[in-house]
A and B are shown apart, each in its own frame.
Chain A
Amino acid sequence: MSDNGKKNRVIDEVTKNEYKYGFVTDIESEQAPKGLNEDIIRYISKKKNEPEWLLDFRLKAYRHWLTLKEPDWALLHHPPIDYQDIIYYSAPKPKKELESLDEVDPELLETFNKLGISLEEQKRLAGVAVDAVIDSVSVKTTFQESLAKHDIIFCSISDAIKNHPDLVKKYLGKVVPYTDNYFAALNSAVFSDGSFCYIPKGVRCPVELSTYFRINAANTGQFERTLLIADEGGYVSYLEGCTAPMRDENQLHAAIVEIIALDDAEVKYSTVQNWYPGDKEGRGGIYNFVTKRGLCKGKNSKISWTQVETGSAITWKYPSCILKGDNSVGEFYSVAVTNNHQQADTGTKMIHIGKNTKSTIISKGISAGKSNNSYRGLVKVSKNAHNARNFSQCDSLLLGDKCGAHTFPYIESGNDTAILEHEATTSKISEEQLFYCQQRGIDKEKAIGLIVNGYAKQVLNKLPMEFAVEAQKLLAITLEGSVG
């Protein structure tokens, strides 16, 4: 069965389940009034039947948030966000359903076709009512059986709070405390849902975990909270997001992802982010303020972030690693594309604390149109981090002359044994390269896709195979029409 086929079946399952449990009709009317105050937070917590300690956590976060100011150090410009004009709790409900694909924005459909997305999935993504095509073979069930066999926990964070409170209590907010930053405080106060994953000692997760497979993955986009724990010797590869353009009514997104890797554990976290970037004039689009951090707590542990960022009007995101365990390894591989009026300020922090810790940063920025693309990264070596190593490579590629690329590398080294290398390049797609491709019969759009994918190859190679293929197409599509 093809990958798409698998996905479709899973999606069918998901759709079926939603209807089966009457999920939709039960909760539809439940929505908090606009704005944020302690009552709203109590309301959210109550709706979710949360234990007292979690309500406390939310309230503390909220009270702390009140003392903070929105950060303004990133190279991003947007009109002020009115935090009292946002609905912070709205029970998952389906988007307005359309009758058929004929009602969908033709441009969106064209993109779907270019990505090779099947008709059924197109309907789902565009919000068209999907016929309940029920397939007797359930990939999802097989999938969950396979996880259960290894005692792997993979569920929504709401379920984890109910069913595995000790684990959640032990780790929630330990890597990204609510005091961390403005958006982390906000998320901690109001997070709606997200994923939870626990890999037990010595278990290699036999499949790539994808949010595709989680029942209530839909509608958690706005204040998503993810917690991933790999116990001693555990391994997991986790995929977040999807390549199809994602639309959302909510403009502000503030997610948190926390990863903990204990002794000898390894976590590979891959993201393809393609939230709605706004139209060609820069109207609309998602503001994406994300705090992602991994803690290499144990010795010989490893956390690897790979991200392909093509969507959102604003991206503010610095997936980081705290290398606490001796011999631990942190990696960050990133491709960030901005076109039209998009703005991205993204990068990483590698905090070396343990001995013999190693980190690698490969960042590939691609700017087109009137967009701005910044790499911002910190490599910090603390006093006792003997023999720390970092290699950073930050490249920028410009298409056209109205866009901007910026690099802000920060280095703080408190230990003389550290070896830190930094390389940075800025280049343009040359007319000569384009002509060379065209002379071989490859049209301009395809040529740009080819050149850009070549440029980003080092990062794309880090993605799981099928994700990488989709990401390649996505890069080309994102940049369509960017060179005259």
Chain B
Amino acid sequence: MLLNIRDLHVSINGKEIIKGLDFSVNRGEVHAIMGPNGTGKSTLAAAITGKEGYEITKGRIIYKDEVINGWEPDKRANEGIFLSFQYPVEIPGVSMTNFMRTAVNAKREYKGLPPMPAGEFLRLMEEKKRVVEIHSKLTNRSVNEGFSGGEKKKNEIFQMAMLEPELSILDETDSGLDIDALKVVAKGVNTLRSPNNAFIVITHYQRLLDYIEPDFVHVMFNGKIVKSGGKGLALELEERGYDWIKEQFED
């Protein structure tokens, strides 16, 4: 099992957001997590990636057979956990090339490898840019600075391609995307899918799942996964909305 979450409770500023969540992911699988706004989907992503201020009060996150509850975010990243951010931040003055090179070499250092030679790195960039149909301009600009919504999301998938994570979490990657950008993003993900890695796709809408076909669909509500099923569940949610879930599982 790649990821195994047991009875997870997460609080922000003392307020419990995730309230006893069980969830597991095997290599080769794509899991979709759906649910109404404010049910803890993004909090789950933050807890898995180790963001500061997200306090695990109970339960365990087990990744590759190790409890990672207390790990620094960069260690988790270097162990292969990747988050495609819902709102990627801008870092003025830092070129995408420099940023990626720092990230790639940080991972190599972690693995005990020497830094990647410049030429090899640039070739890798070119190759991965093609995966997400990024024009070369994008990588010469500062990280996310002045990027359109679509460019930012493509850039997230580009970084995913560069870092070759084992577990990728896509947090609302479809929000704010037009259909063309959505297709590009989905194509990128599908290209990277393999029996060795896994994806958690957090989304509010079924739309993205037309392009990234999940093996499992989970519904999150009020800090827990309340329903799991196959792709059909997403379609059912699309048709019936979330009200019936709310009614059924309201405290």
Which A residues contact B (CB, under 8 angstroms)? 430-433, 435-444, 446, 450-451, 453-458
Task: For the complex formed, measure the closest distance between the CB of B110 and the CB atoms of chain A, giving whole angstroms.
Answer: 7
A432-B93 contact in complex given A439-B73, A441-B106, A446-B106, C-beta closer than 8 Å: no
CB contact between A440 and one of B51, B93, B99, B142 (< 8 Å): that residue: B99
Cα separation A431 to B51 with both chains bound (whole Å): 9
> What residues on B are CB-neighbors of A454 within 8 Å?
91-94, 142-143
| 14 further contact pairs, Cβ within 8 A, besides A439-B85, A440-B103 | A430-B89, A431-B53, A436-B88, A437-B91, A438-B50, A440-B159, A440-B163, A441-B110, A442-B106, A443-B106, A451-B91, A453-B93, A455-B92, A458-B93
Q: Does B78 contact A (CB under 8 A)?
A: yes
> What residues on B are CB-neighbors of A430 within 8 Å?
89
- A456:B93 contact, CB within 8 angstroms: yes
- A442:B103 contact, CB within 8 angstroms: yes
> What residues on A are CB-neighbors of B133 within 8 Å?
none
CB contact between B91 and one of A439, A441, A450 (< 8 Å): that residue: A450
Which B residues contact A (CB, under 8 angstroms)? 49-53, 72-74, 77-78, 82-83, 85, 88-89, 91-94, 98-99, 102-103, 106-107, 110, 142-143, 159, 163
A438-B93 contact in complex given A431-B52, A450-B102, C-beta closer than 8 Å: no
Which of A435, A436, A439, A442 has the most C-beta atoms of chain B within 10 angstroms of its own C-beta?
A439
- B159:A438 contact, CB within 8 angstroms: no
- B85:A438 contact, CB within 8 angstroms: no
Cα separation A433 to B94 with both chains bound (whole Å): 12
- A433:B91 contact, CB within 8 angstroms: yes
- B52:A457 contact, CB within 8 angstroms: no
Task: For the complex formed, measure the closest distance between the CB of A402 and the CB atoms of chain B, giving whole angstroms.
Answer: 19
- B92:A441 contact, CB within 8 angstroms: no
> What residues on B are CB-neighbors of A453 within 8 Å?
93-94
Q: Which chain A residue has the least Cβ–Cβ distance from B144?
A: A436
Which of B78, B88, B159 has the most C-beta atoms of chain A within 10 angstroms of its own C-beta?
B78
Cα separation A455 to B77 with both chains bound (whole Å): 25
Cα separation A430 to B92 with both chains bound (whole Å): 12
Cα separation A430 to B51 with both chains bound (whole Å): 13
Which of A432, A433, A439, A441 has the most C-beta atoms of chain B within 10 angstroms of its own C-beta?
A441
Task: For the complex formed, measure the closest distance between the CB of B215 and the CB atoms of chain A, giving whole angstroms.
Answer: 25
Cα separation A393 to B18 with both chains bound (whole Å): 46
Which of A433, A438, A444 has the most C-beta atoms of chain B within 10 angstroms of its own C-beta?
A438
Cα separation A280 to B85 with both chains bound (whole Å): 37
Q: Which chain A residue has the least Cβ–Cβ distance from B49?
A: A439
Cα separation A451 to B94 with both chains bound (whole Å): 7
Task: For the complex formed, measure the closest distance between the CB of B9 and the CB atoms of chain A, giving whole angstroms.
Answer: 21
> What residues on B are CB-neighbors of A450 within 8 Å?
91, 94, 98-99, 102
Cα separation A439 to B47 with both chains bound (whole Å): 12
Q: Which chain B residue has the least Cβ–Cβ distance from A431?
A: B52
Task: For the complex formed, measure the closest distance between the CB of B173 and the CB atoms of chain A, giving whole angstroms.
Answer: 15
Task: For the complex formed, measure the closest distance between the CB of A398 and the CB atoms of chain B, giving whole angstroms.
Answer: 15
A441-B93 contact in complex given A435-B51, A435-B52, A446-B106, C-beta closer than 8 Å: no
Task: For the complex formed, measure the closest distance between the CB of B56 and the CB atoms of chain A, giving whole angstroms.
Answer: 16
- List 5 A–B pairs whose Cβ atoms lie within 8 Å, in order of A's numbering: A432-B89, A438-B73, A440-B159, A453-B94, A454-B91
Cα separation A441 to B103 with both chains bound (whole Å): 6
Cα separation A437 to B159 with both chains bound (whole Å): 12
Task: For the complex formed, measure the closest distance between the CB of A437 and the CB atoms of chain B, giving whole angstroms.
Answer: 8
Which of B52, B74, B106 has the most C-beta atoms of chain A within 10 angstroms of its own C-beta?
B74
Cα separation A441 to B49 with both chains bound (whole Å): 11
- A444:B52 contact, CB within 8 angstroms: no
Q: Which chain A residue has the least Cβ–Cβ distance from B80?
A: A441
Cα separation A439 to B85 with both chains bound (whole Å): 10
Cα separation A70 to B22 with both chains bound (whole Å): 69
Task: For the complex formed, measure the closest distance between the CB of A450 and the CB atoms of chain B, giving whole angstroms.
Answer: 6
> What residues on A are CB-neighbors of B83 within 8 Å?
439
- B102:A436 contact, CB within 8 angstroms: no
Q: Which 6 A-B pairs have the closest CB atoms?
A: A454-B93, A454-B94, A457-B93, A438-B73, A441-B77, A440-B103
Task: For the complex formed, measure the closest distance between the CB of A395 and the CB atoms of chain B, giving whole angstroms.
Answer: 10
> What residues on A are CB-neighbors of B94 within 8 Å?
450-451, 453-454, 457
> What residues on A are CB-neighbors of B107 within 8 Å?
441
Task: For the complex formed, measure the closest distance between the CB of A438 and the CB atoms of chain B, giving whole angstroms.
Answer: 4
Which of B85, B91, B107 has the most C-beta atoms of chain A within 10 angstroms of its own C-beta?
B91
> What residues on B are CB-neighbors of A440 within 8 Å?
74, 77, 99, 103, 106, 159, 163
- B93:A443 contact, CB within 8 angstroms: no
Task: For the complex formed, measure the closest distance between the CB of A170 and the CB atoms of chain B, giving whole angstroms.
Answer: 43
> What residues on A are CB-neighbors of B51 within 8 Å?
435
Task: For the complex formed, measure the closest distance between the CB of A475 and the CB atoms of chain B, giving whole angstroms.
Answer: 12
> What residues on A are CB-neighbors of B53 within 8 Å?
431
Cα separation A436 to B82 with both chains bound (whole Å): 11
Q: Which chain A residue has the least Cβ–Cβ distance from B94?
A: A454
> What residues on A are CB-neighbors of B82 within 8 Å?
439
Task: For the complex formed, measure the closest distance between the CB of B119 and the CB atoms of chain A, giving whole angstroms.
Answer: 19
> What residues on B are CB-neighbors of A455 within 8 Å?
92-93
> What residues on B are CB-neighbors of A458 within 8 Å?
93
Cα separation A441 to B73 with both chains bound (whole Å): 7
A438-B89 contact in complex given A443-B106, A453-B94, A454-B142, C-beta closer than 8 Å: no
Which of B50, B72, B73 has the most C-beta atoms of chain A within 10 angstroms of its own C-beta?
B73
Cα separation A437 to B88 with both chains bound (whole Å): 11
> What residues on B are CB-neighbors of A437 within 8 Å?
74, 91, 99, 103
- A439:B77 contact, CB within 8 angstroms: yes
Task: For the complex formed, measure the closest distance between the CB of A116 and the CB atoms of chain B, giving whole angstroms.
Answer: 13
Which of A431, A433, A436 has the most C-beta atoms of chain B within 10 angstroms of its own C-beta?
A436
